[in-house]
């Protein structure tokens, strides 16, 4: 963490409250989100992005290279654009061809390395890569908007602003792979480098550079520059499905560190009894921005749009009541009062208030971003005996003991890994085959099974696990909860009521995603980097793009 005095801190919210699927599925991006952290780091170093290679033809096909120096190291994005037949364009992970493919390269690639990447990157999973390749990604065009922007630019006009607001991106990624996938570099190669110590920093840099390429590509094909306001609003779309959900379950230390940083930030802000006028004015302006952002957030699904509309109405009503006015916010205890009110509203209102309150206090909380990685893994000694395990379960995991896992609604679903794509999937235990290959994401059921098998008389855990090796995972998770209280999702992840979309939204909010557009309870589209600074704006706009709105 950065060297600054420890600020006062209110009590943390309980994990029993915070680590619930419905709460996690209501989270919004904050200034601790990874993209925001990256933009601040790039701005602090005054990073300059160049384009040493541009081998793109008039139709927009070919390759380009973007270069920058960050944290004392050179990096390059190699972007490859190909002619994709319409019948091969799909957002599904099973696709085998895409409009564009990308590699974030460690160093500056020479001509041979560029040629290698241009040959292999479009094949994605079907190819193999090297330790110089840090991140692998691919993206498809938003065909309607991309074609519209090209047409307008060729005609000497700017694109229709309503269509820009409606879509918000020229391309959307369907994967951003890091950490050793398909032979690319393991995270260990870069995690100690300045700027890359935080979670997913290399992946976020890749996404930001891809956005830069999409702007350049559409301007090149269209033969004219985009208005800067429009360019800022064009982020990068993303399609994310079940493959992301198990990550939070399989990385309890990371999940704990992310949530603990966020909760600590909130606790430090809650301790501020008297908000300075400058921050109060900022909160008032940001509350208006949030309302405008909600009014620009439209999705095709009627149920999810109703949820957005309800949030917008509740937020607008709160603003009309003066809850976010500067005069109210400078009163003693205003932050605690605002949070107390939000706890009587919907979870969406509550979590939006939390995200809002963090924004003006970067000088207090930004150092917490340095605490969100997991450099060592779980370093927890096992609990000594079965009595200690029983006591820990009773204290920290009553949520795991409550369900009747033999009842069909409580064991309705099972997680497994697709043999064809090696991606997580979710099946119906009573209608689909494969439950015998179930992935161990049923943490609650496993903890309860451990609890039920614990002996009446204390026994060393080593002896117990020698006789019951099937309980090793549950025992390790129970022990980990002593030091990582926010590491478990405190819900039944195989229940019929479990909605993976809640896990997706939680993780994506930490990335910095907005404009969630769920297509089912198992996959969603989002927007990344919308409103983020352009490459030549890092010094001026690096840290004021929370919940961006279209600048008229």
Q: CB–CB of 33/509 below 8 Å?
A: yes
Of 52, 60, 43, 65, which Cα lies nearest the Cα of 149? 60
Q: Tell me what the mean pLDDT of segment 250-277 comes to.
A: 97
Whether the pLDDT of residue 94 is over 70: the answer is no
Of 406, 357, 60, which Cα lies nearest the Cα of 213? 60
Q: What pLDDT digit, counting tens, does each position of 485-543 carry? A: 999 999 999 999 999 999 999 999 999 999 999 999 999 999 999 999 999 999 888 89
- Sorting pLDDT into bands at 50, 70 and 90, what band is 92? low
- Sorting pLDDT into bands at 50, 70 and 90, what band is 4? very low
Q: Which strands form 62-70's sheet, in the order they lie side by side?
A: 50-56, 62-70, 73-81, 100-106, 133-141, 169-177, 235-240, 524-528, 514-518
Classify 76 as helix, strand or coil: strand
Whether the pLDDT of residue 481 is over 50: the answer is yes
- Sorting pLDDT into bands at 50, 70 and 90, what band is 3? very low
DSSP for residue 532: P
Q: What pLDDT digit, counting tens, does each position of 234-245 carry? A: 999 998 888 889
All structural domains of the chain with their residue ranges: 15-28+250-374, 34-241+529-541, 386-480
> Percent of the chain beyond pLDDT 90?
89
Structure tokens at 487: 């590491």
**Mean pLDDT for the chain?**
94
Look at 200-204, 236-240, 405-409 and tell me which has the smallest mean pLDDT: 236-240
- Sorting pLDDT into bands at 50, 70 and 90, what band is 376? confident
What long-range pairs does 216-220 form, CB within 8 A, spacing at least 24?
216/51, 216/54, 216/64, 217/56, 217/60, 217/64, 217/81, 217/170, 218/146, 218/149, 218/150, 218/153, 218/170, 219/153, 220/54, 220/56, 220/60
- What are the beta bridge partners of residue 278? none
Q: CB–CB of 234/215 below 8 Å?
A: yes
Q: What pLDDT digit, counting tens, does each position of 286-337 carry? A: 999 999 999 999 999 999 999 999 999 999 999 999 999 999 999 999 999 9
Whether the pLDDT of residue 1 is over 50: the answer is no
Q: Tell me what the mean pLDDT of segment 65-86 comes to.
A: 96
Q: Tell me what the mean pLDDT of segment 340-358 comes to.
A: 97
Q: CB–CB of 134/104 below 8 Å?
A: yes
Q: Tell me what the mean pLDDT of segment 374-400 comes to.
A: 92
What lies within 8 Å, CB to CB, of 106 at 6+ separation is 73, 75, 131, 132, 133, 134, 185, 189, 190
Q: Tell me what the mean pLDDT of segment 446-452 comes to.
A: 98
- Sorting pLDDT into bands at 50, 70 and 90, what band is 375? confident
Q: What pLDDT digit, counting tens, does each position of 111-137 carry? A: 999 999 999 999 998 999 999 999 999
- Sorting pLDDT into bands at 50, 70 and 90, what band is 419? confident
Whether the pLDDT of residue 482 is over 70: the answer is yes
């Amino acid at each position: 963490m950065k060297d600054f005095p420890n600020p006062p801190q209110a009590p943390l919210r309980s994990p029993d409250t915070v680590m619930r699927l419905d709460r996690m599925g209501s989270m919004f991006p904050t200034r601790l989100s990874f993209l925001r952290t990256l933009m601040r780091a790039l701005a602090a170093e005054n990073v300059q992005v160049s384009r040493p290679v541009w081998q793109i033809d008039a139709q927009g096909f070919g390759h380009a290279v973007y270069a920058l120096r960050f944290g004392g190291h050179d990096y390059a994005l190699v972007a490859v654009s190909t002619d994709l037949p319409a019948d091969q364009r799909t957002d599904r992970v099973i696709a085998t061809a895409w409009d564009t493919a990308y590699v974030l390269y460690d160093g500056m690639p020479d001509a041979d390395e560029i040629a290698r990447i241009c040959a292999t990157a479009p094949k994605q999973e079907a190819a193999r890569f090297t330790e110089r390749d840090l991140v692998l990604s691919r993206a498809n065009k938003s065909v309607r908007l991309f074609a519209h922007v090209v047409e307008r630019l060729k005609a000497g006009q700017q694109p229709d602003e309503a269509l820009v607001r409606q879509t918000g991106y020229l391309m959307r990624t369907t994967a951003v792979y890091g950490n050793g996938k398909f032979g690319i570099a393991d995270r260990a190669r870069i995690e100690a480098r300045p700027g890359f110590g935080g979670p997913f920093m290399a992946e976020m840099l890749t996404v930001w550079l891809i956005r830069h390429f999409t702007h350049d590509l559409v301007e090149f094909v269209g033969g004219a520059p985009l208005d800067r306001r429009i360019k800022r609003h064009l982020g990068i779309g993303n399609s994310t499905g079940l493959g992301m959900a198990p990550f939070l379950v399989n990385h309890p230390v990371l999940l704990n560190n992310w949530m603990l940083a966020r909760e600590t930030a909130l606790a430090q802000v809650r301790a501020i009894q008297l908000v300075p006028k400058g921050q109060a004015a900022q909160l008032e302006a940001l509350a208006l921005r949030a309302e405008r952002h909600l009014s620009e957030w439209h999705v095709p699904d009627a149920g999810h749009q109703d949820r957005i509309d309800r949030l917008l109405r509740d937020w607008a009503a709160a603003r009309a009541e003066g809850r976010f006015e500067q005069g109210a916010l400078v009163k003693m205890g205003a932050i605690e009062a605002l949070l107390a009110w939000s706890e009587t509203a919907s979870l969406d209102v509550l979590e939006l208030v939390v995200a809002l309150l963090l924004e003006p206090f970067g000088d207090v909380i930004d150092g917490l971003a340095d605490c969100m990685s997991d450099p060592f893994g779980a370093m927890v000694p096992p609990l000594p005996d079965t009595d200690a395990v029983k006591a820990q379960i009773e204290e920290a995991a009553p949520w795991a003991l409550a369900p009747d896992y033999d009842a069909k609604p409580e064991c309705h679903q099972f997680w497994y890994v697709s043999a064809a794509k090696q991606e997580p999937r979710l099946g119906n235990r009573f209608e689909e085959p494969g439950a015998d290959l179930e992935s161990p994401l049923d943490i609650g059921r496993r903890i309860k099974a451990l609890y039920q098998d614990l002996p009446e008389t204390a026994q060393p855990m080593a002896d117990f696990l020698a006789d019951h090796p099937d309980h090793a995972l549950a025992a390790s998770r129970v022990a980990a909860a002593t030091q990582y209280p926010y590491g478990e999702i405190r819900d039944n992840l195989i229940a019929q009521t479990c909605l993976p979309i809640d896990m997706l939204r939680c993780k994506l909010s930490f990335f910095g995603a907005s404009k969630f557009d769920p297509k089912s309870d198992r996959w969603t589209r989002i927007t990344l980097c919308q409103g983020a600074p352009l490459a030549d704006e890092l010094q001026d706009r690096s840290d004021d793009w929370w919940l961006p709105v279209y600048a008229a």
